[in-house]
Structure 1
Amino acid sequence: MTPIQPEVLTMRLKRFCILAASAAMPLPALAHSFAAPYTLPVPFALYAWGACAALVLSFVIIGLMARLPFMHVTSVSGITPAKSATSSWLMPGALLAALRMAGVLLLALCIATGLFGTRNPFANFNMTFFWIVFVLGFSYLVALCGDLYGVLNPWRTLCDWIERLLPSAFRARLRYPAALLGYYPALALYMAFIWLELFGHTTPRSLSIALLLYTAIGLLGAALFGKEAWFRYGDFLAVFLRLIAMMAPVRLLHGEPGTSPTIRMQWRMPFTGLLEQEAEHVSLAVFVLFMLSSTAYDGMHESQPWSEFFWAGIYPLIAPIITAGSKQPFAVAARVFHHWQSLALFLSPMLYLLCYLVFLKLARMLTASTETVRRLALRFAFSLVPIAFVYHVTHYYTLLLSQGPAFFRQISDPFGLGWNLFGTAGYAAQPILLDANVIWHTQVGLILIGHVVSVYLAHIEAMRTFRSAYRAALSQLPMLLLMVGLTAAGLWILSLPIASGQVALPTAAS
C-alpha cells in the first residue's frame, strides 16, 4: 500500500473536521435571517459605501446643527431635555404585585416544563418562552417601555418573599468591592450565557438546569452581598436590560422605601437616558462592548470566511503536532476547533476594547485633552448601546416572527401532555415569514439608524467633555471612523453565507 503523504492526510483531516463540525450542530431551525442562499439586489460594496456615506453626512449635519440639539447640554454630569416630562402614570401596587407574582410563576413553569415536560424542543414551553418571548421579545419591550425587568425581576421577587419569612436572609454578610470588581461578575455570567446559546446544544432539560443554577447563584450572591449590590453588579440580565432600557422614552421611578410598592412611569425624549449618566467602572464599558462583539461573533462564527480562516489559516500550523501526537487526529482536531470557537468568543470583547481605546487615544491627541483615555472610555461607552441593540434586532428579530407564534399554542399545553388550558392548544401557529429582500433592507436601515443615533449621542457627550464645538467635532473624527468601520463590518457579517447552513434555535437566540 502506498503511504499517504502528510499534506494529503492534512487535507483529508481538514475536510473531515469541517464535515464533523457541521454534523455536530443541531438542526431544528435557522438562526439567521436567510434560510436559503440569498443574492443581494446590488453588490454589497454599494450598500457599504452608501451606508457609510450616509453616516458621514449625518456627522456633518450634526456638527453644523450642534447649537440646535433636541436637548440642551447643561453640564458634564447631566442633561436637561428640551421638554421636561410633564405627565406620568402611576402603576397601582396591586397590579405591580400581580405582575411580580406572574414573573415568578412563569420562571417556575419554565423550569418545571423543562424537567417534566416533553423532550421535543419545539413543543416544550420553556424553549419558546425563554429564548424567544423573554430573551428576544422582552428585551425589545424594554427598549420601548423602560426597565420593566428591574420592576418584575423574578429572582428579586423571590428574595423579597424569602426576606418576609427570614428578615435577615439577605442582610449583606460581605461588603461588595464595587471599586475592584465592578460589573465583572455580571460580565462573566453574560459570557457563560452566550457560550451556552452558541455551543451548549440546549435542550429543555438542560435549560431548566441552567435556570436552577442561575437561581442558586442569584440567591447566594444576594445573601452574601445584599440584594441591592447583587442585582446591580452581579445579575447580568439586570445589567443587560437596564442598558437597553436607557434608550426608552419612559423612565420607571420606584416608590420611596418603606411606602407601598408603586411604580411611576415618566416620559422623556428617546435615548436621553444614555446621556443622564456614564459608565462608572471599566467592567461596564467592557460589558457594552461584549454586547457588540458577541452578536457580531454569532453572525460570523459559522460563516464560510470564519471556517476558512481556521482550517486554511490556523489549522495547518498545528496539524503536524496533532497528526504526530494522537492516534485519533480527527477527534482531536474537532475538539481543537470547538475550543478555538469558545476562545474566540471570550476574547472578542478584548479586540473591540482595543479598537475602542485606540480611537479614543486618537481623539485625545487631536484635541490635546487632559482627560485620560480611561475617563473618555467611560464617558463614551453608553453611546455604543444603540449600535449593540440594533445588531441584536437585525440578527434575531426574524426568530421572534417565525417562532414566537408557537407560544400561543404552548401556553395551553406547556408540558406537551395534550392539555388545552386556555383554548389555544389547537391554534395553528403560522410563522410570519418575510421576503428576503424585506429582511435585508430592514437590516440595512436598522444598522444605519443605530449608528446615526450613536454618532449623535457621542457628539453630545463630546460637547460636554471638550466644551467647544470645534474640539468636539475634532474629537469625533476618530469615533466617526470607528462607527463607519462598525457599520461596514455589521453589514458584511449579515451578508455572509453560513458554512454549515443551519444553526439550532435554542443556541442562537440571544
Structure 2
Amino acid sequence: MDLAHGLGGGGDLPISASAAVLGGSAALIVSFAVLTMAWRRPRYDNILGRPGKARPGRPAPGWIADLVDAPWWTRTLRMVGLVVLGFALWCGVAGPDDPGTNPVFGLVYVVLWVGLVPGSLLLGPVVKALSPLRTLHLGLSRMLPTSRRDGWWSLPGWVGRWPAAAGLVAFAWVELIAPGGTTLPVLAAWFAGYAVVVLAGAVLFGPTWFARADPFEAYSTLVSHLSPWSRDHRGRLEVLSPLHHLSRVEPGPGLLAVVSVLLGSTAFDSYRESASWLRFTQANPDGVVLLETLLLVAVCMVLGGLFWLATSTETVVRGIGRRTAPSYLAHSVVPIVVGYMTAHYLTLLVETGQSTLIQASDPLGRGWNLFGTAERNVDLWLSLHPGFLATVKVLAIVLGHLVGVVAAHDRSLALLPPRRHVTGQLPLLAVMVAYTFGGLYLLFGL
C-alpha cells in the first residue's frame, strides 16, 4: 500500500501557483479590512461569559436527540470501538508485516489520523464516542472502590492539554520520521505505550484525563467545534453555527501547543516532501532521523511562538493578561488546521482509504473476501483530475484562514480595549497572512 499523499502540483492550477499564494494572502487582508468596518461588536457567546448578538443554538430535532442520548446507542458505539480495536489487534498479530497487504497501517494512518477530521466535522467528537480506551477504563473503574472511580487525585489545572500536545508530537514522529514507522513492531510499541499512559492516567486522575491526554480525542474534540452539533448548558443536544460553536473552545494551558503541533507537523510533512529537502537528505544520509526530529520540533515551536508573540503584545480586559491572552485566541487556529489537513491529506484519505477497505477483506493475505471488497479497485478520480484537486487544496487553505480571521476578530473585540480594536489585531493578522503564504508555498513546492 502506498501511503504517499498524492498531492497535485502548482502547475495543475487554472492560475499560476504564485498568483494563488499572493491572492490567498491578499484575501485575508481584504477580509480583515471589511471586518473592521462591518463587525464592530462580538457576535458570539464567548468564554468571557458575554452574550453575543448571534442567534443561539436551536434544539436538535427530537428524534436525533433521543437517538444520541439513548443508552443503547452509547453502548452500541462503545461496542463498535471495541470491535474495530479487536480487528486491528488481530491484523497486527496475525497479519503480514506489509503495508501493501495488512490494513492495520491504513486504519492507523488514514482512517484514524486523517478520517477523524471529516468525521468530527460532520458528527461531532467521534473519537470520544468510539474510544475503546474509554470503554476499557469504564470496565476497570467498576472494579475500584466507589470513592476512587473518578480518580485517586485531581488533575492540576496547570497540566491542561500539554499531555495531548506531547502525544501528538510522538505520533507525528512515528508517522513521519521513525525508522520502520510502517512496520508492525514499531506501530505496536507506540500504541502499547499510548494505551498504558492513557489508561493509567485515567485510573489516577479520572475520565478528565482522556480529554487532556489522549492525542486523538483532543484533536477530534477541537475539530468538532466546527461541527453544527453541540450541547447547551443543560446538556441537551443543539444545532448552532460552526463559528458560534468554535467560540466555545475552552482556553487553558496547552491549547496553543496542541494547535501548533497539528499545524507544524503538517507543514513539516509538506517540507520533507520537497525536492530541496530530498536532495539534502540523499546527499547527507547520516543523522537524518535526528535532524528531522529537531526540525519537526522547531517548526511547531516557531509557529506557536509567532502566534504567542502576536497575541501577547496587548494588555487585554477583565484581568486576562499577556501570558494568558494567547490561549483565548488559539481557537482561531483550529479552522486553519482543518483547511491545511484537508489540502494535504485529501488524496490520501480518499484513495488510500479505499485501499484499506479493500485490504480489510483479506487482512492475512490468504485470498479471503470477508467484507466483499477484495475484488474492488481503487477509484483514482482525484489523481486523474489534478486541476480540480489543486483548486480544492487552495480553497481549503484560504477558507480555513478566512474562518480563522473571523473567529480571531470576534474574540479580539471582546478582549481588547475599544481604542485598540483595530491596531491590536494587526500583529495576529500578519501572522495569519504568513501562515497562508507559507502553507500555500509549501503545498505547491515553490
Give the TM-score taking structure 1 as reference length.
Answer: 0.78
Call closer, same or farther: CA 1:72–1:299 in 2, change over 3 Å.
Answer: closer
Partner of 1:420: 369
Counterpart pick for 1:448 among 382, 393, 398: 398
Partner of 2:35: 62
Deviation at 1:215, TM superposition (A): 1.6
Counterpart pick for 1:276 among 248, 258, 266: 248
Counterpart pick for 1:266 among 238, 242, 258: 238
Call closer, same or farther: CA 1:105–1:165 in 2, change over 3 Å.
Answer: farther
Q: Distance in 1 between matches of 2:350 and 2:319?
A: 49
Partner of 1:349: 300
Deviation at 1:307, TM superposition (A): 5.3
Q: Distance in 1 between matches of 2:355 and 2:288?
A: 35
Q: Distance in 1 between matches of 2:399 and 2:260?
A: 19
Counterpart pick for 2:151 among 160, 169, 172: 172
Residue type at the aligned position of 1:28: D
- The count of aligned residue pairs is 436
Structure 1 gaps, min length 5: 1-26, 257-263, 312-329, 498-510
Q: Distance in 2 between matches of 1:74 and 1:172?
A: 30
- Does the CA-based 8 Å contact 1:116-1:415 persist in structure 2? yes
- Does the CA-based 8 Å contact 1:78-1:276 persist in structure 2? no
Deviation at 1:353, TM superposition (A): 2.5
Q: Distance in 2 between matches of 1:185 and 1:368?
A: 29
Q: Distance in 1 between matches of 2:198 and 2:436?
A: 36
Residue type at the aligned position of 1:345: L
Q: Distance in 2 between matches of 1:406 and 1:75?
A: 43
Matches within 5 A, 1:74-223: 76-80=48-52, 81-88=54-61, 89-90=65-66, 91=68, 92-167=70-145, 172-179=151-158, 181-200=159-178, 201-223=181-203
Deviations 1:321-378 (A, max 9, x none): xxxxxxxxx9xx533232111111122222123212332245x28x999853212211
Partner of 2:437: 488
Call closer, same or farther: CA 1:37–1:475 in 2, change over 3 Å.
Answer: closer
Deviation at 1:95, TM superposition (A): 2.0
Counterpart pick for 1:372 among 303, 316, 321: 321
Structure 2 gaps, min length 5: none
In the alignment, structure 1 residue 53 sits paired with structure 2 residue 26: yes
Helix, strand or coil for the counterpart of 2:237?
strand
Matches within 5 A, 1:227-238: 227-228=207-208, 230-238=209-217
Deviations 1:148-173 (A, max 9, x none): 22222110011112233445675523
Matches within 5 A, 1:358-397: 358-362=309-313, 364=314, 372-397=321-346
- Does the CA-based 8 Å contact 2:362-2:370 persist in structure 1? yes
Helix, strand or coil for the counterpart of 2:287?
helix
Helix, strand or coil for the counterpart of 1:136?
coil
Partner of 1:225: 205
Q: Distance in 1 between matches of 2:185 and 2:237?
A: 38
Residue type at the aligned position of 2:375: G
- Does the CA-based 8 Å contact 1:357-1:373 persist in structure 2? no
Residue type at the aligned position of 1:269: S
Q: Distance in 1 between matches of 2:249 and 2:83?
A: 34
- Does the CA-based 8 Å contact 1:111-1:212 persist in structure 2? no
- Does the CA-based 8 Å contact 2:256-2:326 persist in structure 1? yes
Deviation at 1:254, TM superposition (A): 11
Helix, strand or coil for the counterpart of 2:373?
coil
Deviation at 1:420, TM superposition (A): 2.4
Residue type at the aligned position of 1:222: A
Deviations 1:62-104 (A, max 9, x none): 22211587x4568833545414313342222112211111101
Helix, strand or coil for the counterpart of 1:266?
strand
Partner of 1:436: 386
Q: Distance in 2 between matches of 1:335 and 1:203?
A: 21
Q: Distance in 1 between matches of 2:152 and 2:426?
A: 48
Helix, strand or coil for the counterpart of 2:369?
coil
Q: Distance in 1 between matches of 2:91 and 2:232?
A: 34
- Does the CA-based 8 Å contact 1:249-1:271 persist in structure 2? no
In the alignment, structure 1 residue 462 sits paired with structure 2 residue 412: yes
Give the TM-score taking structure 2 as reference length.
Answer: 0.88
Q: Distance in 2 between matches of 1:75 and 1:192?
A: 30
- Does the CA-based 8 Å contact 1:289-1:353 persist in structure 2? yes
Partner of 1:304: 275
Call closer, same or farther: CA 1:58–1:489 in 2, change over 3 Å.
Answer: same
Helix, strand or coil for the counterpart of 2:285?
helix
Deviation at 1:478, TM superposition (A): 1.7
Q: Distance in 2 between matches of 1:75 and 1:341?
A: 38
Q: Distance in 2 between matches of 1:368 and 1:93?
A: 43
Deviation at 1:146, TM superposition (A): 1.2
Deviation at 1:128, TM superposition (A): 1.9
Determine which structure has more spread, i.e. the larger CA radius of gyration. Answer: 1
The root-mean-square deviation of aligned C-alpha atoms, in Å, is 2.9
Q: Distance in 2 between matches of 1:134 and 1:483?
A: 28
Deviation at 1:32, TM superposition (A): 4.3
Deviations 1:241-269 (A, max 9, x none): 1111111111157998xxxxxxx532111
